[in-house]
């Protein structure tokens, strides 16, 4: 699996170097590549079955990269690469007139790679990394039209919400990971009972679900998804059908064996799912823009998936997996169609559209079939899905009536939405004549065409899907399962009559809306009432107040005065050290006087005197010279205690500093007296407190019994292994060479920083 990801990375990097014809055909090249991956993964899975690869990552934390291909990831990777290929073909049509397409294609390719990374991950930390990658990349994709403020805002909102959810999820993963002491999904499954019995289960589950809900746009985090419509249509088509928002559902499937099957799982998921399902379709029905309708129906579909996972029966999970495929097919189709209509007529508003069935017969047929699938009518695959969903909802062990009622209600509305969608674009008489500016070319039609035909074929011959593919995925969710067979015709049973009722009621609702425009009017009024509380506004407010609070905090903490930074560092350090001294009552020092001689005492006195003098000197040159004296004094002390290297370094650094001062000296203003006596007293006090504590610390350090084996090791081995008699140097360049390397790099960065700080802006040169 890792090779697939590496290939995607290499491809997206090489896109940078595409020139000429290759650049023109970039989308097609990527499409071919994605199709190749599709074939490769299919070949791998159908030949070998489940595959697992793992590589060491951080062995100290017991982390390794685990990639696996099983039933679930097979379905998802087929959707990602398959629909991905079609989306790239389509993008060739849609993005033709735009600039900056190279970064766009790079992001989109990387995005598909990140999605594949999620579905292949067998380790949750690794999955989290890919999960966040999709958030960041989708941000970059949504801001493609970054000159539009709406696009920027929407992208920011999406990023913020998904990242916030991602963080919550990471917390949940770590909590539950701490129960089983592993982040491997396999280990979680093995220890499912331990996880569910632990007291961390509820907290961990809720945190992980927050992550899933934000990504999958579940209530109350649903509001970022319609905003994400600002992205170019190929992106929407990809994000809504096979990727991004489906990642949450994927994780639900993955974690079901380890976290599912509890009351908490049931209540949280089915509540959130049911609400999301209903509000999605409820707000879809009166939207006036094509893409916006589609976005809300996606929210509805995501709610259905979550609800089905929450119901948590064998039947419902089966229905969910089937519905995932159905939805991917029709949603990708409808988005591509929406893009084609937008490009051909120059408008996305229903009010300006109508009667297009004669001008664009092919597009009309695609839309008709796709909306049939969305409404759940035969002979499309959607019909099977809806039947299964109803069957699952009828057979819920508890609370079935409520879920069934809300399910039927939202399906009625969904039928109405589907009918209205086709009607408003293709059948209704337009208010003004709709001008066709350009006919879609073959690239624009391949994608929707293939998906619709597949949806039809699978609808007519459902065994093709049900035979192995769905069964394999189910076997990864449930330990014991009975193989399913999908049929188009189930006979006259309860489910059939429910379906019939839904369809008829849906058509009636659609008819009412078409015939009586007043209904729409009052309905909109009513919606405005209940929409007084808008999630987007709450979000914007929350962000604004967050920014203003942190601005206030910055005024206190990040004031920008160097002296106060130093002050607070010194004070805090002293307080901590002093309290430690008091705590341990370590006052007695064993000062070993044997090595101290009269000479060194003189040096020490001179050094101390020099530093005291430096305080009182009021001439710059004198101050520098005196500071130099104390610096050289310290060097002499080093030398006396036979730290020759240290002494030489100290002397040299001291020299450089003195020279530096001399050079700078001429350019400085006069020695000004800026501080009054109060400040001086304060500084003196702090200096005394800090100085004493550092002195005590240094004395204390000699007392600590350090491990002499280290010392022995270095003195023994420096000549034998390092071939050097100077132990210090051998340690620096050999034993601990990497540390030195790091230090030099840090120094270099500091020097670069100095040069940046001191270089004047060019404009100000007078």
Partner 1 sequence: MNLNILQYAEKPIRWLLIIISIVALLRGHNYPGGGFIGGLLAGLAIVFQSLAYDVETVRKKMKLSPQSFIGIGLAIAAISLLPSIIGGAELMQAYWVKLQITESYVLKLGTPLIFDIGIFFSVIGIVLMFIFNLSK
Residue 180, both tokens: 């089983």
Q: Does residue 765 bind partner 1 (CB under 8 A)?
A: no
Q: Which is nearer to partner 1, 590 or 666 (CB)?
A: 666
Of 579, 745, 762, 763, which lies in the binding site for partner 1, with binding defined by CB under 8 A? 745
Do residues 301 and 248 lie in contact, with contact meaning Cβ atoms separated by under 8 Å? no
Site map for partner 1, 58-97, x if CB under 8 A? ----------------------------------------
Q: Minimum Å distance from CB 6 to partner 1? A: 21
**Closest-CA residue to 295 (of 225, 248, 391):** 225
CB of 732 to partner 1, least distance (A): 7
Report the nearest approach of partner 1 to the CB of residue 645 (Å). Answer: 5
Q: How many CB atoms lie within 10 A of CB 92?
A: 25
Stretch that binds partner 1, among 460-468, 499-507, 524-532, 739-747 (CB under 8 A): 739-747
Q: Measured between alpha carbons, how far is 268 from 259 in angstroms, rounded to an integer?
A: 13
Residues pairing with 68 in the sheet: 52
Residue 755 interacts with partner 1 (CB under 8 A): yes or no: yes
CB of 629 to partner 1, least distance (A): 19
- The answer to whether the CB of 94 falls within 8 A of the CB of 50 is no
Q: Closer CB to partner 1, residue 584 or residue 666?
A: 666
Closest contact distance (angstroms) between CB of 676 and partner 1 is 29
- Inter-CA distances, 633 with 599, 604, 647, Å: 12, 7, 10
Q: Where are the alpha helices (DSSP H) in 461-534?
A: 463-465, 471-477, 494-515, 517-530
Residue 121: phi, psi to the nearest 5?
-65, 135
- Looking at the Cβ atoms of 500 and 748, the one nearer to partner 1 is 748
Angle, nearest 10°, between helix axes 101-120 and 233-241?
A: 0
In sequence order, which residues have a C-beta less than 8 Å from that of residue 186 and are 6 or more positions away? 66, 122
Min. distance of Cβ 715 from partner 1 in angstroms? 14
Minimum CB distance to partner 1, residue 742 (Å): 11
Residues 280-299 that bind partner 1 (CB under 8 A): none
Query: What are phi and psi for residue 590, nearest 5 degrees?
Result: -95, 95
- Among 437, 678, 760, 762, the residue binding partner 1 under the rule CB under 8 A is 760
Identify which of residues 317 and 730 has a Cβ nearer to partner 1 in the complex: 730
Q: What residues does 449 pair with on adjacent strands?
A: none
- 51-58/63-69 β-pairing: antiparallel
Site string for partner 1, 704-733 (x = CB under 8 A): -----------------xxxxxx-xxx-xx
The strand pairing partners of 760, in sequence order, are none
**Residue 196 CB partners (closer than 8 Å, separation 6+):** 259, 261, 262
Please say which residue, 601 or 644, places its beta carbon nearer to partner 1.
644
Whichever of 103 and 737 has its CB closer to partner 1, that residue is 737
- The verdict on 571 binding partner 1 (CB under 8 A) reads no
Cβ–Cβ under 8 Å, residues 269 and 252 = yes
Is 139 within 8 Å of 104 (Cβ atoms)? Answer: no
Contacts of 290 (CB under 8 A, 6+ apart): 338, 341, 342, 348, 349, 350, 353, 421, 425
- Output 351 or 751, the one with its CB closest to partner 1: 751
Two tokens at 605?
A: 């006195």
Span from 487-495, 522-530, 603-611, 740-748 in contact with partner 1 (CB under 8 A) = 740-748
**Contact call for residue 754 and partner 1 (CB under 8 A):** yes
Judged by beta carbon, residue 569 or residue 653, the one nearer partner 1 is 653
Q: How far apart are CA 396 and CA 413, in angstroms?
A: 22
Comparing CB distances to partner 1, the nearer of 589 and 741 is: 741
d(CA 743, CA 140): 36
N- to C-terminal Cα distance for the chain? 61
Nearer to partner 1, 549 or 752 (CB): 752
Q: Is 461 in the site for partner 1 (CB under 8 A)?
A: no
Taking CB under 8 A as the rule, does residue 621 contact partner 1?
no
> Encoding tokens for residue 528?
């405005």
Q: Which is nearer to partner 1, 460 or 745 (CB)?
A: 745
Q: Are 260 and 193 in contact (CB under 8 A)?
A: no
Q: Closest distance between partner 1 and the C-beta of residue 740, in Å?
A: 7
- For residue 67, the surrounding DSSP H or E stretch is strand 63-69
In the complex, least distance from residue 628 CB atom to partner 1, rounded to whole angstroms: 14
Does 737 bind partner 1 (CB under 8 A)? Our answer is: yes
Q: Which of 22, 362, 572, 747 binds partner 1 (CB under 8 A)?
A: 747
CB of 71 vs partner 1, minimal distance in Å: 40
Which C-beta is closer to partner 1: that of 691 or that of 753? Answer: 753
Closer CB to partner 1, 456 or 625, in the complex: 625
Query: Which two structure tokens, joined as six digits, stand for 354?
Result: 């109508």
Closest CA to 254 of 125, 124, 113: 124
Q: Name, in order, each residue with C-beta under 8 angstroms of 713's C-beta and a sequence gap of 6 or more.
A: none
Total of chain residues touching partner 1, rule CB under 8 A: 43
DSSP one-letter code for 761: P
CB of 720 to partner 1, least distance (A): 12
Closest approach, Cβ 741 to partner 1, in A, equals 6
Q: State the Cα–Cα distance between residues 300 and 322, nearest whole angstrom.
A: 16
Q: How far is the CB of 635 from partner 1 (least distance, A)?
A: 12
Supply the minimum distance, in Å, between the C-beta of residue 743 and partner 1: 9
Tokens linked to 160? 């913020």
**605 touching partner 1, by CB under 8 A:** no
Determine the length of the chain.
766
**Rounded least distance, CB 381 to partner 1, Å:** 54
Using CB under 8 A, which residues numbered 423 to 442 contact partner 1? Answer: none
Does residue 740 belong to the site contacting partner 1 (CB under 8 A)? yes
Q: Least separation, in Å, of the C-beta of 115 and partner 1? A: 34
> Based on CB atoms, which residue is closest to partner 1, 313 or 726?
726
Q: Cβ distance 298 to 240 under 8 Å? A: yes
599 Cβ neighbours under 8 A, 6+ residues apart? 640
Q: Residue 616 or residue 723: which is nearer to partner 1 going by CB?
A: 723
Judged by beta carbon, residue 613 or residue 732, the one nearer partner 1 is 732
- Judged by CB under 8 A, the chain residues 638 through 697 that form the site for partner 1 are 644-645, 648-649, 652-653, 655-656, 659-660, 662-664, 666-667
Closest approach, Cβ 633 to partner 1, in A, equals 19
Residue closer to partner 1 by CB (options 573, 623) is 623
Q: What are phi and psi of 395, to 5 degrees?
A: -95, 25
752 binds partner 1 (CB under 8 A): yes
Site for partner 1 in 177-236 (CB under 8 A): none
286, 527 in Cβ contact below 8 A?
Answer: yes
Where along the sequence are the contacts to partner 1 (CB under 8 A)? 644-645, 648-649, 652-653, 655-656, 659-660, 662-664, 666-667, 721-726, 728-730, 732-734, 737-738, 740-741, 744-745, 747-748, 750-752, 754-755, 758-760
């Amino acid at each position: 699996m890792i090779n697939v990801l590496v290939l995607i990375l290499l491809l997206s990097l090489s896109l940078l170097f595409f020139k000429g014809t290759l650049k023109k055909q970039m989308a097609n090249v990527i499409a071919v590549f994605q199709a190749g991956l599709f074939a490769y993964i299919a070949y791998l899975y159908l030949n070998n079955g489940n595959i697992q690869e793992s590589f060491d990552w951080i062995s100290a934390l017991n982390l390794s990269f685990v990639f696996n291909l099983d039933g679930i990831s097979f379905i998802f990777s087929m959707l990602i690469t398959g629909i991905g290929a079609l989306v790239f073909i389509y993008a060739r049509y849609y993005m033709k007139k735009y600039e900056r397409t190279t970064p766009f294609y790079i992001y989109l390719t990387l995005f598909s790679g990140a999605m594949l990374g999620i579905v292949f991950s067998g380790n949750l930390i690794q999955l989290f990394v890919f999960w966040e990658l999709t958030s960041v990349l989708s941000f970059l994709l949504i801001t493609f039209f970054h000159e539009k403020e709406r696009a920027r805002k929407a992208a920011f909102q999406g990023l913020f919400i998904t990242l916030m959810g991602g963080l919550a999820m990471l917390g949940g993963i770590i909590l539950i990971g701490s129960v089983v002491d592993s982040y491997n999904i396999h280990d979680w499954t093995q220890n499912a009972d331990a996880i569910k019995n632990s007291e961390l289960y509820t907290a961990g589950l809720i945190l992980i679900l927050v992550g899933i809900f934000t990504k999958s746009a579940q209530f109350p985090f649903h509001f970022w998804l319609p905003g994400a419509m600002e992205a170019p249509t190929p992106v929407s088509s990809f994000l809504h059908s096979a990727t991004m928002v489906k990642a949450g559902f994927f994780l639900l499937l993955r974690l079901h064996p380890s976290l599912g099957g509890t009351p908490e799982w049931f209540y949280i998921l089915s509540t959130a799912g049911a609400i999301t399902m209903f509000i999605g379709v409820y707000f879809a029905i009166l939207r006036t823009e094509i893409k916006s309708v589609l976005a809300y129906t996606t929210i509805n579909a995501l709610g259905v998936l979550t609800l089905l996972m929450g119901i948590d029966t064998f039947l419902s999970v089966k229905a969910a997996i089937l519905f995932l495929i159905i939805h991917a097919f029709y949603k990708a189709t409808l988005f591509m169609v929406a893009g084609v209509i937008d490009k051909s007529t120059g408008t996305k508003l229903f009010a300006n559209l109508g009667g297009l069935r004669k001008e664009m017969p092919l597009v009309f047929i695609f839309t008709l079939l796709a909306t049939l699938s969305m409404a759940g009518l035969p002979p499309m695959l959607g019909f099977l899905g809806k039947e299964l969903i109803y069957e699952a909802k009828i057979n819920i062990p508890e609370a079935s009536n409520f879920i069934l009622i809300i399910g039927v209600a939202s399906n009625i509305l969904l039928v109405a939405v589907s009918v209205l969608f086709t009607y408003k674009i293709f059948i209704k008489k337009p208010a003004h004549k709709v001008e066709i500016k350009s006919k879609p070319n073959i690239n624009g039609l391949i994608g929707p065409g293939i998906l619709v035909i597949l949806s039809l074929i699978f609808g007519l011959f459902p065994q093709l899907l049900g035979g192995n593919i769905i069964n394999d995925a189910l076997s990864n969710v449930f330990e014991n399962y009975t193989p399913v067979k999908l049929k188009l015709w189930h006979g006259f049973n309860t489910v059939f009559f429910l379906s019939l009722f839904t369809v008829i009621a849906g058509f009636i609702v659609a008819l009412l809306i078409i015939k009586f425009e007043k209904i729409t009017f009052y309905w909109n009024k009513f919606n405005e009432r209940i929409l007084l509380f808008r999630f987007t506004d709450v979000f914007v407010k929350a962000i604004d107040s967050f920014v203003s609070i942190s601005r206030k905090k910055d005024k206190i903490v990040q004031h920008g005065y160097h002296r106060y930074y130093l002050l607070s560092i010194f004070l805090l350090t002293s307080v901590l050290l002093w309290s430690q001294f008091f705590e341990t009552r370590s006052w007695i020092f064993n000062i070993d006087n044997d090595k101290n001689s009269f000479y060194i005492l003189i040096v020490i006195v001179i050094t101390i005197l020099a530093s005291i003098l430096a305080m009182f000197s009021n001439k710059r040159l004198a101050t520098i010279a005196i500071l130099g004296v104390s610096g050289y004094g310290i060097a002499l002390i080093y030398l006396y205690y036979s730290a020759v290297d240290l002494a030489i370094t100290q002397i040299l650094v001291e020299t450089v500093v003195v020279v530096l001062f001399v050079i700078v000296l001429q350019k400085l203003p006069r020695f000004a007296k800026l501080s009054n006596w109060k400040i001086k007293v304060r500084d003196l006090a702090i200096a005394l407190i800090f100085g004493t504590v550092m002195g005590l610390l240094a004395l204390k350090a000699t007392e600590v019994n350090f491990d002499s084996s280290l010392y022995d090791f270095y003195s023994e081995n420096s000549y034998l292994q390092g071939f050097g008699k100077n132990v210090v140097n051998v340690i620096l360049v050999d034993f601990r060479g990497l540390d030195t390397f790091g230090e030099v790099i840090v120094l270099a960065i500091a020097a670069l920083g100095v040069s940046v700080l001191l270089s004047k802006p060019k404009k100000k040169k007078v």
